Chains A and B, each alone.
Chain A
Amino acid sequence: MRRVLTAGVTLMTVSALAACGAAGSGDEQLTVVMWGGADQKTHVEEAVEPWAEDAGVTVKQDSPSDYAKFRAQVESGNVSWDVVEVEPNFAHTACEKGWAEKLDTEVVDTSELKAEEVTDCAIPVLEYAFTIGYNTETFPGDHPTTWAEFFDTEKFPGKRGFWKYATGAMFEAALLADGVAPEDLYPLDIDRAFEKLDTIKDDIVFYETGEQQQQLVASGEAPLVQAWNGRIFSAAQEGQPVANEWNEHLLSYDQLVIPKGAPNADQAMDWMAWYVDHPEAQAGYANETGYGPITEDAVEHIDEDVLSELPTSPENAAKRAAIVDYAWWADNYDEVTERLNEWAAQ
């Protein structure tokens, strides 16, 4: 869902290539599906190819992850995806509805992973944070360091960008801004969150894709965004006047699931086990993208300048307000989405 529109182009290219390459190849293969773009390319190069070479498996790719396709493949019994990067609320739903294979914990060792990020069907693939992304030219001295300040349009005038999805952490941010203690965040008081959001409604701009997010904040159109840390990191590396404020960040993560009936579920499980077990592969990906690795021991393989931009660094981890509770979101996503539509349309 995340980058649906922009990834559409990638999808067409990739599926065209996939169609050409379908013939031949060895009998062992694995089809990996992620969000597409440079992010997927890096991930596969750093953390799938090395395993595939050792295991003698041909890696195929598709993109972007699409929950409708996921469900359609499982329901029709015609599954062509083996392992798919998804948002955790979908992973919960898929597991509950029997659309995803249960993990074999004999194969995949989950003991090194954060307990909150593991379910019966899914392990994390990366960590990221919803940070306060700000334009350093608009706010050269003082910039918002808390969600309360992020919502303070008098002290910090200008538009605020939010991700257009219910799970985009805007409700969490609103409640923190309204004085809810991080440990009391869930179950979310959606009424109260909307009341808080009402106070800055005229200053809200919604973004849908990572590119839009970067463009909004870098151009100063919305000098403040509730950001994905990696997007701000990469924009800053390209010389854009943007930065992450890590204080009160909300930790989030993407997960990997295996669709029920995946033709190469065993290979998928094998690769997941390898990924958990190879901190240097996780770190290789993190170094390129600014999205965090999933195990603690990967931290030592990460470049110094990247580490300060990851939610995984000890320094940043201490500034975390909460981790997004996707189990709650899995139960409430539909309803809150409907309310968000309604609220935004008024």
Chain B
Amino acid sequence: MTTLTHAAESPPADGTDPATRPGRGHGAERRGLDRWGLLVLPLVVFLLLVFITPLAVILARSVTDPQVGVENYLDFFSSSVYFDVLVNTFEISGLVTLLTLLLGFPYAYLMTLASPFWRGVLLVAVLVPFWTSLLVRTFAWKLLLDNTGIVNTFLLDQGLVDEPLALIRNQTGVLIGMVQVMLPYAVLPLFATMRGIDRRLVDAAEGLGARPIVAFWRIYAPLTLPGVVAATLLVFISSIGFYVTPALLGGPKSMMIGELIVQQLSGVLNWGFASALAVVLLVVTSLLLLVVSRFVRIGRLIGGQE
């Protein structure tokens, strides 16, 4: 838990983008920017141009289009169906986060125990899907999960079910697809943290009389918390912005906010409303980061080790 107690000193705002961090520099080097610091300038200008400016435009549009005022936000919060979309987005993201942790934790743990060869195999098994296009994977899931897809055909042929399981065009489909997409984002930070844990601490606990299960939960598990928090943040925040997977695997009842933004943007051409939706999403995400940063140093979680 010691790593977590630094929390109050600084909720670093730089944590959100690993690219802006000075990397593995020591504290002393970080303090003052010398001439080399100017090398960062192009990046700052770049971010200003392609990120901050459009963001400002979106903010402005959300309160000026179609007329000046907070109409778009009122519309959003007063419409039960659109507010439900937001709730649904959080529900799905929360479930995806939970499921990826449940699957990713034992997997990462196994990786730390495995011999170098098998660790390599396990790592490749995570990375190959990670490097495969999201679109390709989502379409592959469609082939598997459709009522006449591979899974249901198999189950029907074996007589295990009488009619096809509803695996697609509902929340189940979205969850299956998104968990698979997000799994590497949970496994990799978990593994990074677990690899850094000194296993002799567990041995010591056992030497002092703790049963293995107690040693694991009281010594090892708390030390993995930074990894768990990093995985939770990465998975949850990426999940709330998802578009392709829910659009292809979900149904009208599992609509997520990303789909709604696209619909308002390119279908209905209601840009003010779409901008307001984007702002809501951004604000909620920022609030979430703010809350978490009260408890952990996000910068360290995402930027790597000391």
Residues of A at the B interface (CB closer than 8 Å) are: 1, 4-5, 8-9, 66-69, 71, 93, 164-165, 205-206, 208, 215, 219-221, 333-334, 337-338, 341-342, 344-345
Contacts and interface: CB of A to CB of B under 8 A. Distances in A.
Given A206-B251, A342-B81, A68 B269 contact: yes
Contacts of A68: 265-266, 269, 271
A337 B267 contact: yes
Given A9-B135, A342-B81, A337 B269 contact: no
A334 B266 contact: no
A205 B169 contact: yes
Given A206-B251, A206-B252, A345-B253, A67 B146 contact: no
Contacts of A221: 146-148
Contacts of A71: 269, 271
A139 B25 CA distance: 71
Interface of B: 79-82, 84-85, 135, 146-148, 169, 244, 247-248, 251-253, 255, 260, 262-263, 265-271
A221 B166 CA distance: 12
A333 B269 CA distance: 11
A93 B270 CA distance: 12
A208 B253 CA distance: 15
Nearest to A334: B268
A293 to B, nearest CB: 28
B255 A341 contact: yes
A338 B81 CA distance: 9
Nearest to B244: A5
Contacts of A333: 268
A67 B252 contact: no
Contacts of B85: 345
Nearest to B267: A1
A344 B81 CA distance: 10
A1 B248 CA distance: 14
Nearest to B270: A334
A337 B263 contact: yes
Contacts of B262: 4
A19 B251 CA distance: 36
A341 B81 contact: yes
A252 B48 CA distance: 46
A5 B270 CA distance: 20
Most buried by B among A93, A205, A206, A345: A345
A11 B80 CA distance: 35
Nearest to A207: B169
A164 B147 CA distance: 19
A337 B268 contact: yes
A68 B278 CA distance: 15
Contacts of B270: 334
Nearest to B262: A4
A5 B268 contact: no
23 contacts: A1-B266, A4-B266, A5-B135, A5-B244, A5-B247, A5-B248, A9-B135, A68-B271, A71-B269, A71-B271, A165-B267, A215-B146, A219-B146, A219-B147, A221-B148, A337-B263, A337-B267, A338-B81, A341-B81, A345-B81, A345-B84, A345-B252, A345-B253
Kindly list the 4 A-B residue pairs having the minimum CB-CB distance in the complex, ordered from nearest: A344-B252, A68-B266, A219-B148, A342-B81
